[in-house]
Amino acid sequence: MRIIPAIDIIDGKCVRLTKGDYSTKKIYNESPLEVAKEFEAAGIEYLHVVDLDGAKASKIINHKVLEQIASKTNLKIDFGGGLKSDKDLEIAFNAGANQITGGSIAVKNSAVFENWIEKFGAQKIILGADFYPDNSGGKIATNGWQEESALELIPFIKGYQQKGIQYIICTDISKDGMLEGPSFDVYSEVLTAVNDVKLIASGGISTFDELPKLAAIGCEGVIIGKAIYENKISLKQLEKFIVAGL
């Protein structure tokens, strides 16, 4: 299972939010590059970068930060936040992103998102399946998690798998930034219902012990944010996990 630390960016700084609420912003470092270099020094190969300014503006904003991290580290970066047009994607890829994540666009303009899969290739495009849990697994949310759609999580994923999607970041919004543990049951349900997808767990990671459990369920990757920044999981622990090849 791939370990993928998260760097969320507002005004060029490394921040974290709780449940996507901008009023809960906490700045952890003025330099996202410095943070990225610390991750790389711990043997981490992957990075999840979210342009929170871009998510608000519905267009890419912090591509210079992306370019800086990509040019000064060897991290493989997936980048998201407000990407809405082919132009946004071209800027992101030219700035050094290995993959991009589309969430709201996949709900609100499926024709554009499907075209991205075809134009850039399924290896380059990640489906952002951000959900609020309910009795049916969950309802997909959009627009920086401010709006809940009528779409159900598993049919949403299945629909895009049929269009070629392989990578899915599955985020339980109710758990994001809460340090209360991830949605093991939902991820198990998704992986039982949908075969041959690379599911990346996101939201609520709080302790190191949760990582082997996610690997055992079959998650292809895990995004870890606040647990690292609040020292709930150390980079040394992550380094050992990676070396062990779990």
Nearest residue to 124 (alpha-carbon basis) of 94, 91, 99: 99
Nearest CA to 219 out of 238, 202, 242, 243 is that of 202
Q: Which of 88, 130, 172, 176 is catalytic?
A: 130
Q: Which long-range contacts (CB under 8 A, 24 or more apart) does 119-125 make?
A: 119/86, 120/89, 120/93, 122/164, 122/165, 122/166, 122/167, 123/99, 123/166, 123/167, 124/93, 124/98, 124/99, 124/100, 125/99, 125/100, 125/165, 125/167
**Cα–Cα separations (whole angstroms), residue 72 to 6, 37, 65:** 17, 8, 11
Among candidates 106, 28, 94, which has minimal Cα distance to 66? 94
Residue tagged active-site, from 8, 51, 53, 176? 8
Which amino acid is it at 8? Answer: D
Asked about 130 being catalytic, the answer comes back as yes
Q: Which DSSP helix (H) or strand (E) runs through 41?
A: helix 32-41
Active site residues: 8, 130
